[in-house]
Amino acid sequence: MRHLGLKARMAVVGSILFAFYAVAAVVVMAVFDWPLALVLIGSVAFVGVQYKLGKWMALRSVGAEDLPEERAPDLHRRVESLSRDMGIDKPRLMIASMGVPNAFAVGRKGAGTVVVSQELLRTLDDAEVEGVLAHELAHIRNRDVVMMVLGQGVASIVAIVAQWAVLLTGDNDIADFFLAIVVGQLTQMLVMLFVFAISRYREYVADGDAADAIGTGEPLARALEKISRGAERRESTVDDQAAALCIFGDRGGLASLLSTHPPVEKRIERLRG
Amino acid sequence: MVDARTLLAAALGLLLGAVCLVAPGAVVRVQTAGRRPTGRDGKYGTDAVPNRWRRLVQVVGVGLVVAGAYFGYLALG
């Protein structure tokens, strides 16, 4: 059975998210007198809009453009071959000028899109680019994007319901409005703790799948190493002033619990392990 | 008499303000996960958040701490 560890973790996190959602649904049914069907339809519509809007916004935020086959025949051939090996339809391939080496996947299995930055193609050699592409294709195959949108959708619904519960039970004074906003934000954070825990594990799974698809984890490990070294160099010259503004830094403790990705060093270690 | 809801607003406001000041990147990630691509500040393979976003969240954090202190003063003062 493939990805048994992931399935077991998904069962646990899925149950926790369902419990949060069920409480929110019961509150909505009790307070607004909505039938269950309306709550379910509303929830599906909410998550559906988030999915569509999120995909559109992600592509638009980086100014992604279609990468025609005649402009990058080699890249298209590699994506086609990797997609075949991984048992998915070839995704739409797009390119963007992001100012930094980057790549990401949006969409779902059968309707996925992979965006690569021009800087990524300039920074990495062919084997490293293939490692990155295989990792992004693994995200599409494992439905990681959909899972993140679904998790964010549940967290948003629970947060909105918590916010309204505070507002409707209060005196509508300024302290109640403040309390409602704060409770909404803290509730969303609490739910996202579980979503992020599974997301970090999914990154390792996508790394492992990429290594399986190309036969070795070394190219992806090299790519991660090269990009993170480049980012460190940029940070050390540009961000000293910014770092001084960070009171306790943004690593470790709560920050690492609220991370979508595991530390790069650990990923490289596993890819080479 | 101490108003419990105002006191709760103060306590939770201070808590959220502290989170915004200590871990601004985490706050941004909670809002943007599944909505925006990661690695935008040049760290592909990570979910690092651009510094200007972190600073903005820290400014919001200061506002929350001030508001929390104000509601604390109202509830207990």
Is residue B41 assigned to a domain?
A: no
**B40 lies in a domain?**
no
Nearest to B26 among A103, A120, A254 (CB): A254
List residues bridging with A96 in a β-sheet: A117
Q: What percent of chain B is modeled with pLDDT above 90?
A: 64
Give the dihedral sign, CA A22/A27/A29/A30. positive
Q: Do B24 and A246 touch (CB under 8 A)?
A: yes
pLDDT at site A249? 42
Determine which one of A119, A136, A218, A265 is catalytic.
Answer: A136
* C-alpha neighbours within 13 Å on the C-beta side of residue A18: 6
Q: Which two tokens stand for residue A108?
A: 């779902």
Q: Residue A100, SS3?
A: coil
**pLDDT value at residue A239:** 41
Residue B42 lies in a domain: no
Our count of domains for chain B comes to 1
Distance CA A245, CA A56 (A): 33
Q: Is residue A75 part of a domain?
A: no
Q: Is residue B27 included in any domain, yes or no?
A: yes
Alpha carbons B60 and B66: distance in angstroms, whole number: 10
Place of tokens 């965006």: A115
Would you list which residues of chain B are within 8 Å, Cβ to Cβ, of chain A?
Answer: 3, 5-6, 8-9, 12-13, 15-16, 19, 21-27, 29-31, 33-49, 51, 54-55, 58, 64, 67, 71, 74
Three-class SS state of A105: strand
Q: Is residue A84 part of a domain?
A: no
Residues 33-52 of A with CB under 8 A from B: 50
In the predicted model, residues of chain A with pLDDT beneath 50 are 237-249
Is the residue at B62 inside a domain? yes
Task: Give the one of A98, A152, A267 whose C-beta lies nearest to B45's C-beta.
Answer: A267
Q: Which domain holds residue B58?
A: 4-31+50-76
Is B25 inside any structural domain? Answer: yes
- Domain range enclosing A224: 4-62+144-272
Q: Which of A100, A245, A255 sits opposite B25 (nearest CB)?
A: A255
The Cα A211–Cα A18 span in angstroms is 33
pLDDT of residue A232: 67
Alpha-carbon Rg for chain B, nearest whole angstrom, is 16
pLDDT value for A250:
53
pLDDT (mean) for B10-17: 97
Give exposure, A158-194, as e/b (b: 16+ Cβ within 10 Å): bbbbbbbbbbeeeeeeebbebbbbbbbbebbbebbbb
Whether A73 is covered by a domain: the verdict is: no
A189–B contact, CB cutoff 8 A: yes
User: What one-character DSSP code corresponds to residue B17?
Assistant: H
Residue with tokens 């910014």: A242
- With bands split at pLDDT 50, 70 and 90, how would you rate the model's confidence at B50? confident
Question: For residue A15, what are the contacts with CB-CB under 8 A and spacing of at least 6?
Answer: none
Q: Which amino acid is at B64?
A: L
pLDDT in tens, A22-74: 999 999 999 889 999 999 999 999 999 998 888 888 899 889 999 999 999 99
> Are the beta carbons of B22 and A260 separated by less than 8 Å?
no
- In chain A, what residues touch B8 (CB-CB under 8 Å)? 179
Cα three-residue angle B16-A151-B17, rounded to 5 degrees:
5
What pLDDT score was predicted for residue A3? 83
Res A241: pLDDT: 39
pLDDT score recorded for residue A224: 93
What ipTM did this prediction achieve?
0.92
Distance CA A66, CA A121 (A): 15
- Is position B22 within any domain? yes
For position B47, what pLDDT does the model report?
Answer: 78
Cα of A89 to nearest chain B Cα, Å: 22
Residue type, A35: P
Q: B60 in a domain, yes or no?
A: yes
What is the structure's pLDDT at B49? 85
Decide if A158 is inside a domain: yes
